[in-house]
A and B are shown apart, each in its own frame.
Chain A
Amino acid sequence: MTEWTALTLGKKIQAGEISAVEATKATLERIKNLEPTLNSFITVEEESALKQAEEVQKKITAGELTGPLAGVPAALKDNLCTEGIRTTCGSRILQNFIPTYTASAVRNLQRAGAILLGKTNMDEFAMGSSTETSYYGPTKNPRNTAYVPGGSSGGSCAAVAAEECFYALGSDTGGSVRQPSAFCGVTGLKPTYGTVSRYGLIAYGSSLEQIGPIARDVADCAAILEAIASHDKKDSTSVKRRDYDFTSALAEDIKGMKIGVLTDYFGSGLDPQVKTAVLKAAETLRDCGALVEEVKLNLTDYAIPAYYVIASAEASSNLARFDGVKYGYRAPEYEGLHSMYKRTRTEGFGTEVKRRIMLGSFVLSQGYYDAYYLKALRARALIKQEFDKAFEKYDIILGPTAPTTAPKLGESLRDPMKMYLGDIYTISANLAGLPAISLPCGKDSKGLPIGLQLMGNCFEEKKLLRAAYTFERANAASITEKGDRDDRRPVYGSAVPERSSL
């Protein structure tokens, strides 16, 4: 049962074939068995999950909850505030933080009848691309536990891949939903900026990030997005849209759709196996009737520096509130206010977070603001313009999600610069506010999943979902034709010897 998609389970629950309680118990059982190996979760709320399941099932039976996700167990990235449930952001500084309120997107899920199983592991404050910067230990890739799941939503993606939940929410500031989805072989969507309320999402890079669904397939992503997207008066950057019926876009029809293959994303640094798989995906889409051609944008050189300047600048200010005064960790010993601030933040934050706070403080400081921050804003505007131009001609822009498949545990921490460069294909969508999806399009010789990234114009999730859905169907059919085993189901560390510690 745990391998079903969220929509399949939802349908069976509505049909009375299975109960929300049974589904919840099954996932909790899996969590119990797999967590010692994977560490996808920081907090598992077994008791409250079962209680929710009973309540939700009652409403379903009474006909009060009829949505497609009612009764389906889900997991939440641990940077989404949940009233009464510890929310750590993967950091020591919030190790004892219990929010007094629930994030708007999570409330939307609760209204849709979701069963919340717990909070998933992540890079500390979503800063990282491997889930190794978490204070609560790294998460392992369920496809092969010697490898990282990607990040920063690595816990959410691993949990979905390992069937510890039917779907999860992540957040994507520079690729944090899409890149771990690619590494774990699941489907993850970053919506257009403003589509999902950020109220209750603990901020890292406010102007860049969106909460997004992580699921087994495109249809699940569409249904989850439909549930979490809303115009929220509590988030000034939230947008009122007219098209919240995202599932209506799920049709295998891309005839005449114009797809640009972004040549900028096929240059040096791209793993040849990833390249082959992604180009093959472009061919598949062409076979489905899309008009596929190459497009060049001249922007990749500036995207990474612009992103790291803007995200770090915002982070340096967003993370200032963690000071030991109001909540969270406070150093046990200090003399006076400044020593309290200094020790609390020295002890409470990890290396990567401190690096970005320092970088961000530097680029905003007097005398450097114009040279770094303002310049980054200009680069961002130019990148947006480039995309606007491209979308005049193309419906979808196609490329790889990441230059490689998942690296081995420990590799990313040794070379942060290399880790930053790994975000090269995902950050443009954040800088330009575009919707983008990552979905599996093959595996490398080590059996690690490869992600295909499709980007759409702002507010064109429907086109994006239709293209992704069409590809997913065509790809599944071709695998079946060739008689390949549909091995969506993960391998747990059996193929590769388990590494007990880093």
Chain B
Amino acid sequence: MKHKYESVIGLEVHVELATKTKIFCSCSTAFGGAPNTHTCPVCTGMPGALPVLNRQVVEYAIAVGLATNCAIARYCKFDRKNYFYPDNPQNYQISQLYLPICRDGYIEIETENGRKRIGIHEIHMEEDAGKLIHDVAEGCSLVDYNRSGVPLIEIVSQPDMRSAEEVIAYLDELRATIQYLGASDCKLQEGSMRVDVNLSVRKVGEKNYGTRTEMKNLNSFKAITRAIEAEAARQTELLEAGKPVIQETRRWDDDKGESYAMRSKEDTRDYRYFPEPDLVPIVISEEWIREIRARQPELRPQKLLRYKREYNIPDYDARLLTAAKGMADMFEETTALCGLPKKVSNWLMVETMRLQKERGMDQEEIPFSSENLAKLIRLTEDGTINSTVAKEVFEKIFEEDIEPEQYVEERGLRTVHDENTLRTCVERIIAENPKSVSDYRNGKEKAMGFLVGQTMKAMKGKANPELVKELLRELL
């Protein structure tokens, strides 16, 4: 490669808000449900039906705006975005173009080179569309309007990111913030958070932006990272070959690990935006903003500082624990019950996150109670069970939220501390493994480990390992 290139990345993030009812009618926003059961004349675009704005949508948008350092508009409006598609029953989407609710904010992320500000251009409110289902067998398409009218906010960043790592850090911070506010669960897989990546490349040192593409269909952080890397490489290759980058919308295929063009700038639709005449302008008073600010929960940056101060845990732990609100809540609840913040942190960061990952779960999804984790930690601390048994019991807690004290009793998992029982067992192991015994006596320290293991196995893992080691040394 002749030159060094850098990526310039901006994001458009759609987030489904956690309101009980839709943005312009009182239908339920619940996910799932038989097709077209959460619908009414408004969200199915019946003739004569009119939208009425859900106040909670405005409150969530303001809350997210405040948490991301935006200026909140005192006067804002909705506009119609006109385009024909069957999932959009009115053939226009009610959105905000001219006067969005929030503007000019930022989020701070950690990078290799320290803290960095990622600008937020605007946040606006809009309605979601329904879902098309293509029935290949019947040769027809069906439409489900349950999702039509579910409230969304779109958070448009500035083109301030330079790498996939920065993008993930930004998304991580944004997601945590929105989850902390309770404004959305932000699940990429379920589509309650959708990310479109605008990316261009340029030679390092260049001031002007290159031609950008927009990437869609990114359903996980991993897919986002892969897509960014692939797109940066594709554009760089084009430029190196003296070919132009075409401004277009591309669709990422995560299975193939590549993207393809959906539509070019030439067929960019003219959305014919104009002010929505069926809704009145929203006037946002200082007092309303003050009220929302006062209700704002503790957000991630404050929580991070407090964790380090109050619980004296390392920065690394505090960051991991505060990334998802559910995880942070679990940490605080469990610590309140059993103390020992570092032990709680370890169980959450290591075992919990490992099992979540294995099962493809989100960090928000914690399937057990703080009471049971606290009891498990107590059982470990007072030596009732050893760490091997503890891991086994924890998996049970994770899977079924079992009560650990009862579980340990019922299955006889208590650690054996009785010296006579252990001595008998160790004597038997020494007799059965003459080779290892002689190895140890000849200075092979490794043989010791094997003998401890054999004893533990014979004791079904329940022996006190320290005591076993002591006895082995004594008897050898």
The answer on a CB contact under 8 Å between B278 and A236 is yes
A residues 100-127 with Cβ under 8 Å of B? Answer: 100-101, 103
Q: Which of chain A's residues have a CB closer than 8 A to the CB of B274?
A: 313-314, 317, 364, 369, 373
Q: Indicate whether A326 sits within 8 Å of B89 (C-beta atoms), given known contacts A87-B47, A364-B272.
A: yes
At the interface, yes or no: A198 with Cβ under 8 Å from chain B?
A: yes
Determine if A337 is an interface residue (Cβ-Cβ < 8 Å).
yes
Decide if B443 is an interface residue (CB 8 Å cutoff): no
| B91 CB contact (under 8 Å) in A79, A94, A97, A320 | A320
Q: Tell me, yes or no, whether A237 is within 8 Å of chain B by CB.
A: yes
Smallest beta-carbon distance A382→chain B, Å? 18
CA distance A100 to B40 in the complex (A): 9
Chain A residues with CB under 8 A of B44: 326
| Bound Cα distance from A206 to B66, whole angstroms | 34
Does B50 have its Cβ within 8 Å of any Cβ on chain A? yes
In the bound complex, how far is the Cα of B90 from the Cα of A382, in angstroms? 32
List the B residue with the shortest CB-CB distance to A314. Answer: B277
Chain B residue nearest in CB terms to A320: B91
Chain B neighbourhood of A94, CB < 8 A: 47
Contact of A235 among B41, B50, B91, B273 (CB under 8 A): B50
CB–CB B91/A323 < 8 A: yes
- Interface of chain A, main secondary structure: loop
* A77-97 vs B, Cβ < 8 Å mask (1 yes, 0 no): 001110000010100001001
A377, closest chain B residue (CB)? B275
- A100-B46, A317-B92, A326-B45 given as contacts; is B280 within 8 A of A236 (CB)? yes
0/1 string, B270-305, CB within 8 A of A gives 1 = 101110011110000000000000000000000000
CA A353 – CA B41 in complex, angstroms?
A: 24
0/1 interface trace, chain B 31-68, chain A, CB 8 Å (1 if under): 00000000001001111111111000000000000000
Measured in the bound complex, the distance between the Cα atoms of B82 and A199 in whole Å is 21
CB-based nearest B residue for A341: B84
Question: Would you call B280 and A320 a contact (CB within 8 A)?
Answer: no
The answer to whether B51 touches A199 (Cβ under 8 A) is no
Residues of B76-98 whose CB lies within 8 A of A? 80, 82, 84, 86, 89-92
Q: A236-B52, A361-B272, A373-B274 are in contact. Are A321 and B45 (CB under 8 A)?
A: yes
A233 is an interface residue with CB less than 8 A from chain B:
yes
Question: Which residues, 222 to 264 on A, are CB-close (under 8 Å) to B?
Answer: 233-237
Asked if B99 is at the interface (CB within 8 A of a chain A CB), the reply is no
How many angstroms from the CA of A369 to the CA of B273 in the assembled complex?
9
- Cβ of A365 under 8 Å from chain B: yes
Number of interface residues of A (CB under 8 A): 43
| Cβ B272 vs Cβ A317 within 8 A | yes
Please give me the residue from chain B that is nearest to A366 by CB atom.
Answer: B270
B143 at the interface (CB under 8 A from A): yes
A320 lies within 8 A of B92 (CB): yes
Nearest residue in B to A102 (C-beta to C-beta)? B48
Categorize the interface residue count of chain B: 20 to 34
Question: In the complex, what residues of B have CB within 8 A of residue A198's CB?
Answer: 48, 50
Q: Contact check, A81 vs B50: say whether CB atoms are below 8 A apart.
A: no
Produce 1/0 per residue, B317-338, CB < 8 A to A.
0000000000000000000000
Distance A45 CA – B89 CA, assembled complex (angstroms): 30
Which chain B residues border A337 with CB–CB below 8 Å? 86
Counting chain A CB atoms within 10 Å of each CB, the highest count among B48, B84, B89, B280 belongs to B48
Assembly CA distance A337 to B84 (angstroms): 10
B47 partner residues in chain A, CB cutoff 8 A: 81, 87, 89, 94, 97, 99, 202-203, 321-322, 327
Q: What are the residues of chain A within 8 A of B86 when measuring CB–CB?
A: 323, 325, 337
Q: Report B-chain residues with C-beta under 8 Å of the C-beta of A233.
A: 52
Partner of A234, one of B46, B52, B80, B89: B52
Of B50, B80, B270, B280, which contacts A317 at CB under 8 A? B80
Q: B280 and A203: CB pair below 8 A?
A: no
Distance in angstroms from A101 CB to nearest chain B CB is 5
Q: How many whole Å from B16's CB to the nearest CB in chain A?
A: 23
Q: Is the CB of A317 within 8 A of B143?
A: no
Beta-carbon nearest neighbor of A324 in chain B? B86
Asked if B50 contacts A234 (CB within 8 A), the reply is yes
| A320-B82, A320-B90 given; A206·B277 CB < 8 A | yes
* Contact B277–A101 (Cβ < 8 Å): no
Cβ of A317: which chain B residues have Cβ within 8 Å of it? 80, 82, 92, 272, 274
Contact A320 B277 (CB under 8 A): no
Q: Chain A residues with Cβ under 8 A from B143's Cβ?
A: 325
Q: How far is the CB of B91 from chain A (nearest CB, A)?
A: 4
Given the interface contacts A100-B41, A323-B84, does A199 sit within 8 Å of B48 by beta carbon?
Answer: yes
A396, CB-defined interface residue at 8 Å: no
Within the assembled complex, what's the spacing in Å between the Cα atoms of A81 and B49?
Answer: 9
Q: Which chain A positions have C-beta within 8 A of B270? A: 365-366
Q: Which residue of B is nearest A373, CB measured?
A: B274
In A369-403, the 8 Å CB interface with B consists of 369, 373
Contacts of A81 in B (CB 8 A): 46-48
A207 at the interface (CB under 8 A from B): yes
CA distance A361 to B274 in the complex (A): 11
Contacts of B91 in A (CB 8 A): 320-321, 323
Chain B, Cβ-Cβ closest to A322:
B47
Distance of B229 from chain A, by nearest CB (Å): 34
Q: Is the CB of B89 within 8 A of A236?
A: no
A100-B41, A321-B90, A321-B91 known; A199 vs B49 contact (CB < 8 Å) = yes
Q: Which residue of B lies closest to A367 (CB)?
A: B270
A42 cross-chain contacts in B, Cβ below 8 A: none
A436 at the binding interface (Cβ < 8 Å):
no
**Which residue of chain A has the shortest Cβ distance to B86 in the bound complex?**
A325
What CA separation (Å) do A103 and B48 show in the bound complex? 8
Question: Shortest Cβ distance from B380 into chain A, in angstroms?
Answer: 58
Chain B residue numbers with a CB within 8 Å of A202 are 47-48
Chain B residues within 8 Å of A, Cβ to Cβ: 41, 44-53, 80, 82, 84, 86, 89-92, 143, 270, 272-274, 277-280
A198-B50, A236-B52, A323-B84 given; name 20 further pairs at CB < 8 Å: A80-B48, A94-B47, A97-B47, A99-B47, A101-B41, A101-B49, A203-B47, A203-B48, A203-B278, A206-B277, A236-B280, A237-B278, A316-B272, A317-B82, A320-B82, A321-B45, A321-B47, A326-B44, A364-B274, A365-B272
A-B contact pairs, 8 of them (CB 8 A): A101-B49, A200-B49, A203-B47, A317-B80, A320-B82, A320-B84, A322-B47, A323-B91
Q: Which 6 A-B pairs have the closest CB atoms?
A: A320-B91, A364-B272, A207-B277, A206-B277, A202-B47, A200-B48
